Amino acid sequence: MPSDAPPDPRAASDSSNPSDRMAPGFRWFLASAGSWFAAFGMHQTMVARLVVGDLNASEEMTGTVQAASMAAGVALLFVGGAVADRVDARKMLVVTHVLGAVPPLALAIAVFSGQLSLPLLLLCAVGIGAVNPFCFPAREAMCWHLGKARIERAVTTQTMAQFGSQAVGMRVVDVARVVGSGPVLLVQALLASIGAVFAARLPSVSPERPRERPGLGEMLAGLRFVWTTDLRWILILVFGIGLFFGGAFWTAAPLLLRERFGSVEDLGALLFGFQVGTLVGSGLLLWRGGIRRKGLALIAALVFGAGMVLLLAQPLPFFGLQVAIFGWGLGGSVFMNMSRTLFQTRAPEAERARVLSMNQLGFMAAGPIGAALAGFLSGWLGPSTALVVLGCAMLSLVGVVVAVSPVPRME
């Protein structure tokens, strides 16, 4: 049975030797990640804009579409992790970038031809959701390969590239009010595909596992490892984020905007605040040089984030909503960097991609439920009350984990 301790603590932690540097290909890795997340940020915002604004769907249908876009990747994440342990991560990233350009291109054609519909939007959202679980474990494995000498710094730098790019992508969506949704969707497709050029410049990463088709046991190896170590508590918290925070962000927040201001024209400007908060928070972590008590830091971050969700429910002006979203992003930056670093330093080499993919599993498995839950809560109680319920539920989960787990003591 795997031990709760890292296989090699000295090798797994950030090196204190200032001569240690990430591999030269790390800049191409950041460019590839940046292009993917710029396109993904556009996708997340455009789906909400198209379903709430262009198609004027109900609260329940808004939650259903967001849930479907997340649900596609849950089972596939097990497959993606197993495949990433058996193929060259560079090739896997190139292929996923190309495939990621197809759904927005199809939506752009539909918009230009006047054929946009809920079924097509649902299909394209599912398409993106099906590509992401193959891209994520390959990207995490490449991050370890290029930055393992200083892994916490590598993770934080990638997080900055991720959320900085998502922030830019979300603001690009605001241009749709002037030029329409079609041209914006074409830009999204271009950003996804150009990342394949950057990924092609990355070094090859030889797989640790044989290339034969993985069986079910191999696909579940990552989950089995996580569940038999203290990482299971981090997975439970990530599940809570998908269930409570994910629904609050992608379903309740757009519906709140429509209820209070009559439209979702400023949705990109609102959600942009979260990405900026995450970018600023990650920059501060990078400047600080990391955090030793990572478990305690991520618990505090979740409590702070839940407070920001409760603040969103108050009768604030638009600027107040932006401030609350920004604060939420600051907390999110700490949780994401600490949880990913804990997974990176504890993952065994032969099962690295599968173990790292489990950090995403919690969000992807709970995300569809959370999106649908937030939609139905908003339709029943109103978006403001739904945010209060979701924020309090997250605080309750954190309280339970603190009471029964060693997470606050994890380093």
Q: Which of 41, 24, 397 is nearest to 405 (CA)?
A: 397
Q: What is the mean predicted confidence (pLDDT) over 249-274?
A: 79
CA dist., res. 344 & res. 82, Å (int): 16
pLDDT at 221: 66
pLDDT at 8: 43
pLDDT at 259 > cutoff 90: no
The token pair that represents 93 in the structure block: 């990233």
Residues of the chain with pLDDT > 90: what percent? 22
- In our burial notation (b when 16+ CB lie closer than 10 A, e otherwise), range 287-312 reads eeebbeebbbbbbbbbebbbbbbbbb
The token pair that represents 145 in the structure block: 């390969």
Q: What is the mean predicted confidence (pLDDT) over 260-287?
A: 80
CA dist., res. 62 & res. 232, Å (int): 31
CB distance 160 to 103 below 8 Å: no
pLDDT at 288: 78
Q: Give the model confidence (pLDDT) of 167-191 as tens digits.
A: 788 778 778 777 888 899 999 999 9
Q: Give the model confidence (pLDDT) of 127-182 as tens digits.
A: 888 888 888 888 888 887 887 778 778 888 888 888 788 878 877 877 877 788 88
Q: Give the model confidence (pLDDT) of 292-302 as tens digits.
A: 888 898 899 99
Tell me the C-alpha to C-alpha distance, in Å, between residue 4 and each of 106, 308, 336, 354, 388.
46, 33, 20, 17, 36
Q: What is the mean predicted confidence (pLDDT) over 213-241?
A: 75
Tell me the C-alpha to C-alpha distance, in Å, between residue 391 and each of 77, 196, 333.
27, 38, 18
Fold classified for 25-204+217-409: Growth Hormone; Chain: A; (1.20.1250)
